[in-house]
Chain A
Amino acid sequence: MRGLFYVLTALAVMGLAFWAYQENYKTQSAIAEVRSLHGEIGAAHERLSMLRAEWAYLNRPDRLADLADLNFDRLGLLPLMPDAFGAVDQIIYPLPPILPITNPIELSFDQLSQMENDL
């Protein structure tokens, strides 16, 4: 009986040791993964800031003004002036939508060609 107890205890210790060992390794690998993800995030941030800087550089007002001048023939862009504002009543009313045809007039093909000839 005592022998069995010793054997079981030894087995339990071994099992627990195995479990702890495995957990330790899992933790280590998770930390390593987090670290590599952080590295990736850092690289992405760096790329993002580079792209933002490039975007800002390409959109600098001087360059946009030069481009607007270069492409004046095509785009006709001018500096925004007060006359660019309009009043609401300068906008035409939207055209009323075409109503669905509720009473269609039947035209046979012959009649249609007849009408066309008349015209």
Chain B
Amino acid sequence: MSRAPLRPLAHILKARARGENPDAIEAENRARRHEAMADKQRQRAEGRLLVLGLAFFCAFGLIGMRMGALASSVPEEPRASAVGNPIIGQRSDIVDRNGRILATNLQTHSLYAHPRDMIDPANAAKGLAEIFPELDEAELLKDFEGDRRFLWIRRQISPEQMQAVHDIGSPGLLFGPREMRLYPNGPIAAHILGGASYGREGVASAEVIGVAGVERQFDGFLRDPANEGAPLQLSLDLTVQAAAEQVLAGGMSIMNAKGATSVLMDVHTGEIISMVSLPDFDPNNRPRVQTTGDQSDSPLFNRAVQGVYELGSVFKIFTTAQAMELGLVNPDTLIDTQGPLTWGRFRIRDFRNYGPELSTTDVIVKSSNIGTARIAMQIGAERQRAFLGALGFLEPTPLEMVEAPTGKPLLPPNWSEISTMTISYGHGLSSSPVHLAAGYASLLNGGTRVEPTLLRRDAVEVGPRVVSEAVSARSREMLRQVVVRGTASFGEVPGYEVGGKTGTADKPRAAGGGYYEDKVISTFATVFPANDPQYVLIVTLDEPSENSGDEPRRTAGWTAVPVAAEMIRRTAPLLGLRPQVDTPQQVGVTLTSN
């Protein structure tokens, strides 16, 4: 770049010729140059400002856009790593002891409406009423045209119904995912499983909560995500449970009973293999709780756990076992059975007169109230109470169901001598069939206490001793004699050496004041096989009456016993019990010894 000279010679010479000061020219030129420099610098500065401004604009614009984007989008955690397992179903399955499903989940859809978005509410209401016959078209239309913005229509719908609703084509009808609890086996084990319903509901999902039975008891476990979908394994056997329900339902109808219940328990572990209460219900469609009348008439009532009854003569074996344990009697001791036995204003009678005296075994075999009461008088109230307490008859069963605490035994307010006498043959103390099953199991398994449970137990934990091994074996022998030659002769099942005790108790009047003449609770408590106890079965029929003869027969020997025998015949093979066959002497083999 060539710079313009500050003192150009030509101008200087001209100026000198004119007699002017040449310095003025230099000053002027210098001023011009400075001006040009200033102009240039200003331009540059302006350019820089522009670039800086643009940069700031871009930066602010970027930040603004990012903020706008963050504000308008759905918040999301920044993910630096992938998290553990995806959600495996909301609620764990419930399975039986062999892993067969008793309760599981099914993915369905719920249907809800946004009436504001509807174009043709009349058509939508008409279409919905056609798909779901229980909906009322006029009511739907009123809701759709009112000022509601949101409306549940159905909690769960099937895929076919969903397609049909799609075909209505209304933009205001929307679907949400919904998990549904399914009991694939229908009413089988309904009382144990209980049922489920929805807790907090949202459009995107709904909480499934248990309302009764093990579903409620183990609600926390079933919903705990830490289990990663591990199922809850019960002690039930689905096949046995189904067979027991079938047999019991048949027996209940043949015996014209109002209700029936059975409990099949493992003698050594206390696991409940099957527990039936009839009438039952379908847990997929659980009926409403009855608000009027007797709760025990509702199908929801679990007779095996909640039903506390005076179970009658089945208690006699506890009395004789305790007397044998205390050394007061042995199976052959003769007991005075001369009747009637009077105590104050009470009279204790037998079903028929059994003569002046019977051996202890025969007291059980013939079911003598007088004989048992006399033995109980020797035992005394204190010791009887302690013994029944050791067998678990004084508190509700520890069964893992929410209903279990309601099955509280009814004890006499004052455990007097007469209470001792009546309790010895099963009157004056009400307990549930599960109590009885646990009591029989504790007494007959060799004499150690078992606690009933609904959960599968692999390790057998031997409980505290209740009676000695010998007393347990003698009690089993007595019960075996009841079937062989006593009141339970219909209870014989070839190959299974059934031992058991019948009990027929008059039902107390609901209003109080004595007992019904023609309404009984008949019970058969059995253990099989008696020589190697494996299972205890309790069958109880409510108000049975066997009408094949001239007059109705209501005693347990005619009603509960045949049902129980059939149940053993059906279930024992399913439990893998081989019938014990008397092997004939092998031909041609002679046993010799030197």
Interface stretch, picked from B128-136, B464-472, B531-539, B570-578, is B570-578
A81→B569 contact, CB < 8 A: yes
Q: Which of A31, A45, A56 contacts B101 (CB 8 A)?
A: A56
Contacts A50-B106, A79-B570, A80-B573; is A60 near B86 (CB within 8 Å)? no
Counting CB contacts under 8 A, is A62 at the interface?
A: yes
B185→A61 contact, CB < 8 A: yes
Q: How far is the CB of A68 from chain B (nearest CB, A)?
A: 12
Give A30 to B82 CA distance when docked, in angstroms.
Answer: 9
Q: Which of A53, A57, A79, A82 contacts B243 (CB 8 A)?
A: A79
Q: How far is the CB of B4 from chain A (nearest CB, A)?
A: 37
Of residues 489 to 538 in B, which have CB atoms within 8 Å of A's CB atoms?
493-496
Q: How far is the CB of A15 from chain B (nearest CB, A)?
A: 24
Q: Which residues of A contact B495 (CB under 8 A)?
A: 82
Say which size band chain B's interface belongs to: 35 or more
Q: How far is the CB of A97 from chain B (nearest CB, A)?
A: 28
A39→B101 contact, CB < 8 A: no
Give A80 to B574 CA distance when docked, in angstroms.
Answer: 7
B239→A82 contact, CB < 8 A: no
Q: Which residues of B contact A46 (CB under 8 A)?
A: 89, 107
B578→A49 contact, CB < 8 A: no
Counting CB contacts under 8 A, is B3 at the interface?
A: no
Interface residues as binary, A58-69 with B (CB distance below 8 Å gives 1, 0 otherwise): 011110010000
Q: Which residues of A contact B239 (CB under 8 A)?
A: 61
The main secondary structure of chain A at its interface with chain B is: helix
Residue of A nearest to B243 (CB): A79
Q: How far is the CB of B85 from chain A (nearest CB, A)?
A: 8
Contacts A45-B88, A82-B495; is A61 near B242 (CB within 8 Å)? yes
Q: Which residues of A contact B242 (CB under 8 A)?
A: 61-62, 65
Give A42 to B246 CA distance when docked, in angstroms.
Answer: 39
B positions within 8 Å CB-CB of A: 79, 81-82, 86-89, 93, 100-101, 104-107, 182, 184-186, 188, 229, 238-239, 242-243, 246, 493-496, 569-570, 572-574, 578-579, 581, 583
The 9 sampled A-B contact pairs (Cβ below 8 Å) are A46-B89, A46-B107, A52-B101, A53-B105, A53-B182, A59-B100, A61-B188, A82-B496, A82-B572
A positions within 8 Å CB-CB of B: 30-31, 34-35, 38-39, 41-42, 45-46, 49-50, 52-53, 55-57, 59-62, 65, 79-85, 87
